[in-house]
């Protein structure tokens, strides 16, 4: 998986040494870092390591799941760009709908990192020919919807099309 840089951030592949951070980020959260396999709740360091190895195995010219680090190497979150499930495991051929998703550690929120990381990934993906990106947000996830708006995504309203539940959908097309 390639690295992507922005003014303040480096988006890079997950490494085994990141397991403690990933566990801290994801445990106790409903948000699960998925990679084409059936998502499972992350409870232990072993789960985090297994997730890291799945994420690192993603080999695709556009899609990915990156660790977000600051210039001094501090990890602050994760950023994913992947087809929306259900998709054929590891083949990424099961859906034409691609979503972007973000998770920033509570200690690092309120600094624009999610928006900056997502903006860098969107530019990179559109530059590589991706025609459309969606963001699927829970109706009461106003922080995530604010990120969508900062990114200039268009609100498409509520849908039950994804994840068997009601979501607020956002769309971004190349400019």
Ligand X SMILES: CC(C)(COP(=O)(O)OP(=O)(O)OC[C@H]1O[C@@H](n2cnc3c(N)ncnc32)[C@H](O)[C@@H]1OP(=O)(O)O)[C@@H](O)C(=O)NCCC(=O)NCCS
Q: Contact positions toward ligand X, by CB under 6 A?
A: 31, 101-104, 109-115, 137, 141, 143-144, 147, 150
Q: How far is the CB of 113 from ligand X (least distance, A)?
A: 5
Indicate the residue among 61 and 87 with the shorter CB distance to ligand X.
87
Q: How far is the CB of 59 from ligand X (least distance, A)?
A: 25
Structure tokens that stand for 158 in this block: 């509520």
Q: How far is the CB of 134 from ligand X (least distance, A)?
A: 11
- Report whether 114 contacts 85 (CB < 8 A): no
Indicate the residue among 36 and 101 with the shorter CB distance to ligand X.
101
Which among 14, 101, 8, 104 is positioned nearest to 52, based on CA atoms? 14
Of all helices (H) and strands (E), which one includes residue 12?
Answer: strand 9-12
Q: How far is the CB of 143 from ligand X (least distance, A)?
A: 4
- Report whether 119 contacts 147 (CB < 8 A): no
Indicate the residue among 55 and 147 with the shorter CB distance to ligand X.
147
Which among 53, 47, 112 is positioned nearest to 77, based on CA atoms? 112
Cis bond upstream, residue 142 (ω within 30): no
User: Shortest Cβ contact with ligand X: which residue?
Assistant: 112
Indicate the residue among 128 and 146 with the shorter CB distance to ligand X.
146
């Amino acid at each position: 998986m390639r690295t992507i840089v922005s003014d303040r951030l480096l988006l890079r592949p997950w490494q085994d040494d990141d397991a403690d951070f990933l566990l801290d980020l994801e445990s106790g959260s409903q948000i699960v870092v998925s990679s084409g396999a059936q998502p499972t709740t992350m409870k232990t360091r072993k789960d985090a390591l297994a997730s890291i190895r799945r994420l690192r195995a993603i080999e695709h010219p556009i899609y990915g799941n990156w660790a977000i680090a600051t210039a001094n190497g501090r990890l602050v979150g994760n950023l994913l760009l992947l087809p929306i499930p259900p998709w054929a495991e590891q083949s990424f051929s099961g859906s034409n709908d691609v979503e972007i998703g973000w998770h920033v550690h509570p200690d690092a929120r309120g600094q624009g990192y999610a928006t900056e990381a997502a903006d860098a990934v969107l530019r990179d993906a559109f530059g590589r020919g991706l025609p459309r990106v969606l963001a699927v947000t829970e109706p009461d996830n106003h922080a995530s919807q604010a990120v969508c708006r900062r990114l200039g995504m268009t609100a498409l309203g509520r849908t039950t099309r994804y994840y068997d539940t009601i979501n607020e959908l956002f769309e971004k097309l190349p400019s």
